[in-house]
Amino acid sequence: MKNIVTDRQALEMRRHSASILQKLGLRHDANFEPHTLDWSALNDCQNQVMRAARLNLDRMDGASESDGPGLEQAHEGFMALYDACEREKDWRGKLGSREARAEGGNPFRPTPGDCEARGVEDGESYEYGGGPGASGPSDVTRALRLNESFGGALRSLRGGGAAGRGFNEYRGLTPGGFLRAMVRGPQSAVERRALAESTDSAGGYTVPDVIMAPMIDRMRAASVVMRAGALTIPITSDNASFAKVATDPVPAWRAENEAAAESDPTFAKVPFAPKSLMVIVRISRELLDDSINIGTALPNVIAQAMATELDRVALMGSGSGSQPRGVANFAGLTASGYSALELANYVPLVRMRTALRTANSDATAFIMSPRDEGALAEKLDGEGNPLIIPPAIASTPRLATTSIPTNLGGGANQSLILAGDWSRLMVGIRSELRIEILKERYADYHQYAFVAHLRADIAAEHEAAFCKIPAVTLPA
């Protein structure tokens, strides 16, 4: 366990949830080794630590000022154990076996001297860069799926393995503790060091990687386009790009002793130019001083607010001025066959899928407004039974988000539906998050304001992998 949680977290976990630790067989000096558990025990263990995390979170309400920080540390510790179980399950899935393993860690991590480039499909998910002992930053930035850690990518970009900037020297620092320390001053040595090393000439704070990565992962988890399958690209400069294949090589048959036909692929560059995303979160000084769980709630509020706006621009962004261009405004969309639609059944979704398959793509998810998703769910057949979803799209997620408006068009009652292979949508996130604290601006309301600033951009590997129905209304 000591390899996963901090000493402080382990102490508070024993203090507040000793019975659960005993049930899990964790002693004071025991290491938590999920790789040694069989599949059933691994799932049971994960359920137990999640129950403990929620229990400690619930205890924060009404807890004394002396118990509150300890409960927060216990909560963070159990969440670290939960994440360790989740990683182990992911690795076994990639190995194709649910059996316990003799060795822990990432089974796909390269060994010293192994210079093979590993991609997502090869199972390289949580450790990046060279083999054990690698110290230099990686020259390769990989696209991340939703279940892959942004922190792992940062460790590679900052210097490889666990030695990435901020992941050791800030061990034990929590998002809530860092935000509170910005206002009330540091309460521990690690908070004091974080504030001293992250201040800049503009008076803000560059959030340490160990804090930023979980906040960005929370933001990604709350994003609809990420749940649909969009990939995250960590970027480290103001102008970055990734390569895509514009045209495929064409193989040809040959007779014996004849030269092989030559056909070269054409590569194109997809640029990222990060644009500024900012959110202001106001909080009363009394709440910040008195609330026990504000350290957990405040980072979640900031992450949720940023996720909502990032979703909106990924779907609806105009591409003009300081705003990225979203899917609805891509120039190269595959035609859906509809210029307008009165949504009465699931047939239009099937036709969108057909159009995408005709363009050598597919519909991995449909994204629409809650109004339209709800209207489809309420549809009845001629006998008053719920409308059966066609088998062709029954397993395709239909995701709803308020980021798609319902007041478009001349009658201010139109919406739109988007479909596509969402793994070909890239969300580039600049690997730096800054937070400033405004103490005087809202002083007359006795409030503080946290200003969070992130830079991001949207790009598509292939715009024809998406299509839309642009003017959707409901039957009167």
Tens of pLDDT along 48-106? 888 888 888 778 776 777 777 788 888 888 888 887 887 888 788 777 788 888 877 76
Kindly state whether residue 135 falls inside one of the protein's structural domains.
no
Residue ranges making up the domain that contains 31: 1-105
In which region does residue 58 sit, left (phi positive, over 0), alpha (psi from -120 to 50) or beta (all else)?
alpha
Distance separating alpha carbons of residues 361 and 350, to the nearest angstrom:
14
pLDDT at 109 over 70: no
Q: Does residue 190 share a domain with residue 280?
A: yes
Q: Tokens 């595959």 sit at which residue? A: 334
Same domain, 98 and 154: no
How far apart CA 416 and CA 336 sit, in angstroms, is 12
pLDDT digits (tens, 9 = 90+) for 426-455: 998 886 788 888 888 888 888 888 888 888
98 and 150 share a domain? Answer: no
Residue 86 within any structural domain of the chain: yes
Region 121-149 average pLDDT? 47
- If one compares 103 and 265, the residue with the highest pLDDT of the two is 103
- Residues 167, 86 share a domain: no
CA gap 320, 448 in Å, rounded:
32
Mean local confidence (pLDDT), 318-337? 92
Residue 111 clears pLDDT 80, i.e. is over it: no
Is residue 113 one of the residues assigned to a domain? no
CATH of the domain at 361: 3.30.2400.10
* Confidence check: pLDDT of 256 > 50: yes
Residues 320 and 462 in one domain: yes
In a domain, residue 470? The reply is yes
Of 79, 105, 131, the residue at which a domain comes to its end is 105
Name the domain count of the chain.
Answer: 2
Co-location of 87 and 169 in the same domain: no
For residues 50 and 175, membership in a common domain is answered with no
Give a yes or no: residue 279 inside a domain: yes
Q: Are residues 161 and 101 in the same domain?
A: no
How far apart, in whole angstroms, are the C-alpha atoms of residue 341 and residue 360?
A: 25
Same domain, residue pair 98 and 161:
no
Residue 153 lies in a domain: yes
Do 458 and 412 sit in the same domain of this protein? yes
In a domain, 72, yes or no: yes
- What's the gap between Cα 164 and its chain centre? 20
Does 3 or 403 have the greater pLDDT score? 403
Residue 136 inside a domain? The answer is no
- Domain final residue pick, 105, 124, 153: 105
Residues 320 and 183 in one domain: yes
C-alpha–C-alpha distance, residues 100 and 42, integer Å: 9
Please report how the helices 68-95 and 7-24 are oriented relative to each other, as an axis angle in degrees rounded to 10.
60
Structure tokens at 399: 């995701």
Q: What is the pLDDT of residues 309-327, one digit of tens each?
A: 899 999 999 988 889 999 9
Whether residue 398 sits in one domain with residue 312: yes
Of 85, 105, 125, at which residue does a domain stop?
Answer: 105
- 36 has pLDDT over 70: yes
Check residue 137 and give its pLDDT: 43
Q: What is the distance, to the nearest Å, from the Cα of residue 16 to the centroid of all Cα atoms in its chain?
A: 30
